[in-house]
Amino acid sequence: MRFLHLHSSFHTGGKELRAAKLINAFGKQVTHTIVSAQPEALGAAAVIDGTIDARYPGDFPPLAGSPTPGRLQRLARALSGFDLVLTYNWGAMDAVMAHTLFGQKLALPPLVHHEDGFNEDEARGLKRSRNWYRRIALGRAAALVVPSQRLEAIALGDWHQPRWRVQRIVNGIDTAAYRVKPRRDELPRLIKRPGELWLGTLAGLRPVKNLPGLVRAFAGLPEEWQLVILGEGPEHEAIRAEALRLDLAHRVHLPGFVADPAKAAGLFDLFALSSHSEQFPISVVEAMASGLAIAAPAVGDIAAMVTEANRRFIVPAGDEAALGAALLELGLDAGLRQSVGAANREKARLEYDGDAMIAAYRAVYSGAMRRAMP
C-alpha cells in the first residue's frame, strides 16, 4: 500500500510524532511519501523506523499559495498514484480542496483529513474565511479525524461536517514504557543533579505554546527548581531572552528534542503547559503516564483529560498569575504532587493506551480505502 502524507511541517510536534508512531505500527507493507510545506522541517523523520520505506520528495507542488484553479489542479494531479491521501491541519487544506474539486475527474484515491488544533493565528478565535473554506474543501473527504471533544464540536458546528465524516480518536501512547524511571543522565547535554527538582514540558518551540509565559510563571518557584523545556523550534531565542531578563538563565534549560519522551518525562517532578491553544495534547498523556501532576491553562480537553484531583491546577487560559500560583502550590508540596501524579498515571493506563489508538486509525483508514490494512 502507498500512503501520501501532506503536512505544513514535519517538525517534532505532537501530531507529527503521532503520525510517525502510526507509520511504524503499520509496518513494512505500507510505503509512505511525506511532504512538508517547510522542506527543512523534517525532524519527526528521525522517529520513523529505518526499515520502513519513507520518502521525502523535493519536487511536490507547494502546499501554500493562492488557491487558483491552475495551482489546485496541479496539486490534484500530484495526489494520484497512491492508495490513500492523509492531510494534516490548515497547512494542507489547499490539497484537500484540490481533491474535492478534481478528485472525481482524475479518479483520485480517498482522502482522510486530520485536524489537531490551531496555530497562533487562530489560537484565540476561528477565522470566518477559513471556516468557509474548510466547509467546501472537506466536501469529498472520506473522514475527518480529530482528537478532542472541542474540535469535534467545531467540526460539526462551525465547519458543518456530517456526523458520519467526523471521527474522534483520542491520542494514546505506550503507557507501560513510562513506568520505568530514566537515568539522571538520560537527556543530552543535561544531567539531573542531587537535590534538584525539575518542572518540565514537552513542546514544539512555537509562539502558540507561549513558552516565555511559562518562564514567567516558573519564576516564583524556589531555587532548587529547574525549568526543562524539551523541544525544538523558532521560539528558542525568545525563551532564552525571557530567562535572561528575569535572571533565570541558570535555571532554564533547553536541551533540544528528545526522540523518546518515555526516557525523559520520568525525570520531571512536575509538568506544565502554558499554551494559548491545545486540543488533546500528547504531552499531557505522557506526563500522566509518568505519574506527574500537571499545571496548565484550561484549553482544549486538558481539564477533562486529567483526574478530578488534578483539575483545580488547570487554570483559566491566559492567566499567568494563576498558572504561577498552581505551580507554587504543587512545587511546595511533594505529597500532593505524588498523590495527584499517581491518580493521573492510573487514568492514563486505563484510558489512553496506544494500542486502542492505533486500532482506531487502522479502522478509519481501512474504511476509507474499503480494504483491510495489513
How many domains would you assign to the chain? 2
pLDDT tens by residue, 345-370: 999 999 998 999 999 999 999 999 99
> Is 57 part of a structural domain of the chain?
yes
Long-range contacts of 73-80 (CB under 8 A, 24+ apart): 73/98, 73/101, 73/102, 76/101, 76/102, 76/103, 76/106, 76/108, 77/102, 77/106, 79/4, 79/103, 79/106, 79/108, 79/109, 79/111, 80/106, 80/107, 80/108, 80/109
> Is 209 part of a structural domain of the chain?
yes
Work out the percent of the chain whose per-residue pLDDT is above 70: 100
- Specify the pTM: 0.81
Whether 235 and 339 map to the same domain: the answer is yes
188: pLDDT strictly greater than 80: no
Whether 223 and 247 map to the same domain: the answer is yes
pLDDT tens by residue, 281-304: 999 999 999 999 999 999 999 999
> What gap in Å lies between CA 42 and CA 35, rounded to an integer?
9
Whether 269 and 359 map to the same domain: the answer is no
In the chain, where does DSSP find H-type helix? Answer: 14-26, 69-78, 93-106, 128-137, 149-156, 211-218, 236-245, 282-289, 302-305, 320-331, 334-351, 354-369
Residue holding cell 516558573? 218
Whether 160 and 69 map to the same domain: the answer is yes
pLDDT tens by residue, 250-275: 999 999 988 888 889 999 999 999 99
Whether 188 and 146 map to the same domain: the answer is no
Residue holding cell 483539575? 311
**Is the four-CA dihedral 66, 68, 71, 74 of positive or negative sign?**
positive
Whether 217 and 131 map to the same domain: the answer is no
41: pLDDT strictly greater than 90: no
The CATH number of residue 122's host domain is 3.40.50.2000
Contacts of 251 (CB under 8 A, 6+ apart): 223, 225, 226, 227, 243
pLDDT at residue 11, rounded to an integer: 85
Whether 304 and 266 map to the same domain: the answer is yes
Cα dist from 97 to 80, 135, 162, whole Å: 15, 10, 17
Whether 225 and 325 map to the same domain: the answer is yes
Contact 350, 305 (CB under 8 A): no
Tell me the mean pLDDT in the region 337-343: 98
pLDDT tens by residue, 208-261: 999 999 999 999 999 999 999 999 999 999 999 999 999 999 999 999 988 888
Tell me the mean pLDDT in the region 89-114: 97
User: Position 146: which residue type?
Assistant: V
Q: What DSSP character marks residue 7?
A: E
Whether 37 and 8 map to the same domain: the answer is yes
Whether 228 and 135 map to the same domain: the answer is no
Phi and psi angles of residue 145, each rounded to the nearest 5 degrees, phi first:
-100, 130
Which cell goes with 275? 499554551
Phi and psi angles of residue 146, each rounded to the nearest 5 degrees, phi first:
-130, 150
DSSP 3-state of 140: helix
195, 198, 199, 205: CA torsion to nearest 10:
150
> What gap in Å lies between CA 267 and CA 290, rounded to an integer?
9
Whether 39 and 85 map to the same domain: the answer is yes
DSSP assignment of 37-88 equals: SSTT--GGGGGS-TTS-EE--S-SPPSSS---HHHHHHHHHHTTT-SEEEEE
pLDDT at residue 180, rounded to an integer: 87
Whether 194 and 341 map to the same domain: the answer is yes
> Is 246 part of a structural domain of the chain?
yes
pLDDT tens by residue, 298-325: 999 999 999 999 999 999 999 999 999 9
> What gap in Å lies between CA 217 and CA 318, rounded to an integer?
11
118: pLDDT strictly greater than 90: no
Which cell goes with 97? 480542496
> What gap in Å lies between CA 288 and CA 282, rounded to an integer?
10
Which cell goes with 166? 467526523
> What gap in Å lies between CA 45 and CA 50, rounded to an integer?
9
pLDDT at residue 94, rounded to an integer: 98
Contact 46, 63 (CB under 8 A): no
pLDDT at residue 125, rounded to an integer: 83
Neighbours of 151 (CB within 10 A): 23
Contacts of 73 (CB under 8 A, 6+ apart): 98, 101, 102
What does the chain come to in residues? 374
> Is 215 part of a structural domain of the chain?
yes
> Is 374 part of a structural domain of the chain?
no
357, 361, 366, 372: CA torsion to nearest 10:
-30
Domain range holding 83?
Answer: 2-172+354-369
- Average pLDDT over all residues of the chain: 94
pLDDT tens by residue, 69-86: 999 999 999 999 999 999
> What gap in Å lies between CA 361 and CA 350, rounded to an integer?
19
